[in-house]
Amino acid sequence: MSAGSGITHSEFNLLSESLHFYQIWVMPNELDITQRYEQKAFDKSKSKILILSPNAEQDSLKVYQDMCLWLYRDSASETFSFKSGKKAYIQVVRGKLEIESSQTKPFVP
């Protein structure tokens, strides 16, 4: 979803069961973006999925920012690296994460 110059937004659960989801708001790197909405189902069998990217690469959704949003599943022995000068925000939903880096710092907005 791109809000463009602003939107009114609300959400509600139509189901009788509980719903848990993550809602992430990203400030765009451009002004006056055309409002749009996209929804997509991703292949749950993959352990690494690119969800958002600036150019909608690898069948991801487009985001107006110099960032990527990845989903990793069952990545017990996965090694991650980041481009120089980039920062990472990591959200652990289930399980645990072990980081072996003296350069790890808390997120400060």
pLDDT at 23 exceeding the cut of 90: no
Q: Provide the pLDDT for residue 51.
A: 92
Average pLDDT, the chain: 81
Q: Is the pTM of this model over 0.85?
A: no
Tokens read off for 74:
């069952």
Taking the C-alpha atoms of residue 93 and residue 60, their distance in angstroms, rounded to an integer, is 21
pLDDT tens figures, 25-55: 888 888 888 888 888 899 988 888 999 999 9
pLDDT tens figures, 60-108: 999 999 999 988 887 667 777 777 777 777 888 877 777 776 565 666 6
